[in-house]
Amino acid sequence: MGNVAKSEDFSEWFNSVIKDAKLCDLRYNIKGFIVIMPWAMKSIERIYSLYCAELEKYSHEPAFFPSLVHEKSFSAEKEHVEGFIPEVFWVTEVGTAKLEERYALKPTGEACIYPMYSLWINGIADLPLKIYQRGWVWRHETKATKPFIRGREFLWIEAHNVFADKAAMEKQMPEDFAIAKSVIWERLGVPFIFLRRPQWDKFAGAVDTFAMDTLMPDGKVLQIGSTHLLGTNFSKAYNITYTDSTNKPSSAWQTCYGPGINRIYAAMFSVHGDDKGLVLPIDVAPTQVVIVPIIKKGSEKEVNGAAEDLRTALSAKFRVQADLSDQTPGFKYNKWEQLGVPIRVEIGMRDIASGSAVIVARDTGAKRSVPLDKIAHEIEHEGKEMQKRMMEKSSAFLTCSLELAHNFDEAVKMVSAGKMVAMPFCSEGMDGAECAKKLKEGSSCDARGVAVNHAGCKLPDTHSLEGKKCIVCGKKANVTMWLSRQY
């Protein structure tokens, strides 16, 4: 790591971490397109596995849909196409010949998937249909791109579900929250708030959008995934109908869900990292344990041998490496700390003689000597304790960053100080679009929505906001709106 303190300049810290820990290479030379390097990709693969397993636990099945979309299919749902057209990459030529029809590189999967759903779904027996795809999409983002956070090609999962009625559709939203909670909070230790987005900020073509927002260390909110109730908007556009019990054709009800894997990864290493580099949750660390031999002159063979034996013994239970390179122990400590390996084991002649080794936790740096015959158990225990400490820390950060604002100036001041702020809001006319616009103009604060759930944090008691006036227009407040700066 350079000499950048995370708390002083998060953006600089982020840039050094991705470079020093070799998470990605930015030299690909097409704006918004990055090369994700093995150390990051190994964790990302693990995040994918956790997420896909959880989706399958809730009866989703995997499938693969192509990347190219017919323009005609893409244009079927009016709001959807209007929302996405400005960001679409088009394929117009093959070799030297112009294509008769241009194809969109999918910015999201609806237009690829729903024409097929129209063919697959006929009767009530075909429902519910719950399919997910892991993959990537392309969006020509106009905002400034940032590695893992805003790219023009990014990794995600999208789940597309079809139901017979509205009630079944509505049940999917809390299920999507539960899936996010069990992966993003319980395994990765990233707390988040689940908000219903205002109507002006919903997914193009959706009836309602709910999103997972987490707070980055610089006090800006990052949306790490979203779920959308589509009603029958898309099923009407794409003719996804089934024959109901009275033998009449009925439009199906749909949801779609998009956890942003790049962003979840970015949130994870940003929330947990420290001035030495990454601090990775043990479940997704590419290497969970690194063994560093402490060599004094003449003891190379014996100590390296013991380190190698220990690596073999531990590899039955952990992802483990022994660093037998010629570097000094200090150099090795820095290297593996920068990479965020959760547990370091140090072993030297004195440890060998006493049948022990020293284990060091990445987050606290605390060292303790443990007997070699119990070391696997001790590492497992330390890994669990470390995970708990990381979760306590990230939870405290988000919880302490949530505040209540009773007037405009107070809200602006808090948001500028990196807080997420709840305030009384009229939500009148398109969920308060006008008031939100005024807020944004006067302060660069974004209205994120109304909290419907949360994971890994405590929301403040909003009792004192009840019966208050909208802090922008002074009309009666109907909702408690969350406000923040955003990525």
Rule CB under 5 A: choose which of 207, 435, 436, 481 binds Zn ion: 435
CB nearer to Zn ion: give 122 or 407. Answer: 407
SS (H, E, C) 106-164: CCCCHHHHHHHHHHHCCEHHHCCEEEEEEEEEECCCCCCCECCCECCEEEEEEEEEEEC
By CB under 5 A, which span of 170-178, 351-359, 378-386, 430-438 interacts with Zn ion? Answer: 430-438
CB nearer to Zn ion: give 426 or 450. Answer: 426
**Smallest distance from Zn ion to CB 429, Å:** 9
Residue 136 vs residues 33, 74, 107, 143, 187: alpha-carbon distances, Å: 12, 17, 9, 19, 23
Written as one letter, the residue type at 478 is N
Rule CB under 5 A: choose which of 426, 436, 465, 483 binds Zn ion: 426
Q: Given the structure tokens 């998470």, which residue do they identify?
A: 23
Tokens of 484: 């923040």
By CB under 5 A, which span of 64-72, 208-216, 387-395, 419-427 interacts with Zn ion? Answer: 419-427
Asked whether the bond before 128 is cis by omega within 30 degrees of 0, the reply is: yes
Question: Both ends of the chain: CA-CA distance in Å?
Answer: 24
Among 257, 268, 283, CA closest to 174: 257
Q: Given the structure tokens 């402490």, which residue do they identify?
A: 294
CB nearer to Zn ion: give 324 or 470. Answer: 470
Query: Taking CB under 5 A as the rule, does residue 44 contact Zn ion?
Result: no
Rule CB under 5 A: choose which of 17, 357, 472, 481 binds Zn ion: 472
Site string for Zn ion, 367-406 (x = CB under 5 A): ----------------------------------------
Query: Taking CB under 5 A as the rule, does residue 294 contact Zn ion?
Result: no
For residues 487 and 221, the answer to whether their CB atoms sit within 8 Å is yes
Tokens of 242: 């089934």
Beta strands in 411-463 (DSSP E): 420-425, 446-455
CB nearer to Zn ion: give 173 or 404. Answer: 404
By CB under 5 A, which span of 161-169, 272-280, 340-348, 465-473 interacts with Zn ion? Answer: 465-473
CB nearer to Zn ion: give 339 or 477. Answer: 477
How is residue 182 annotated by DSSP? I
CB nearer to Zn ion: give 23 or 472. Answer: 472
Rounded distance between C-alpha atoms, residue 458 and residue 392, angstroms: 12
Size of the site for Zn ion (CB under 5 A): 5
**Smallest distance from Zn ion to CB 443, Å:** 14
CB nearer to Zn ion: give 229 or 426. Answer: 426
By CB under 5 A, which span of 113-121, 128-136, 403-411, 464-472 interacts with Zn ion? Answer: 464-472
Rule CB under 5 A: choose which of 52, 168, 358, 473 binds Zn ion: 473
Query: Taking CB under 5 A as the rule, does residue 470 contact Zn ion?
Result: yes
**Smallest distance from Zn ion to CB 412, Å:** 15
CB nearer to Zn ion: give 314 or 426. Answer: 426
Written as one letter, the residue type at 471 is I
For residues 257 and 54, the answer to whether their CB atoms sit within 8 Å is no
| 354 Cβ contact list (under 8 Å, min separation 6) | none
CB nearer to Zn ion: give 336 or 425. Answer: 425
**Smallest distance from Zn ion to CB 411, Å:** 12
By CB under 5 A, which span of 126-134, 139-147, 316-324, 427-435 interacts with Zn ion? Answer: 427-435
For residues 220 and 150, the answer to whether their CB atoms sit within 8 Å is no
Rounded distance between C-alpha atoms, residue 471 and residue 476, angstroms: 9
Tokens of 364: 């606290």
CB nearer to Zn ion: give 361 or 470. Answer: 470
Contacting positions for Zn ion (CB under 5 A): 426, 435, 470, 472-473
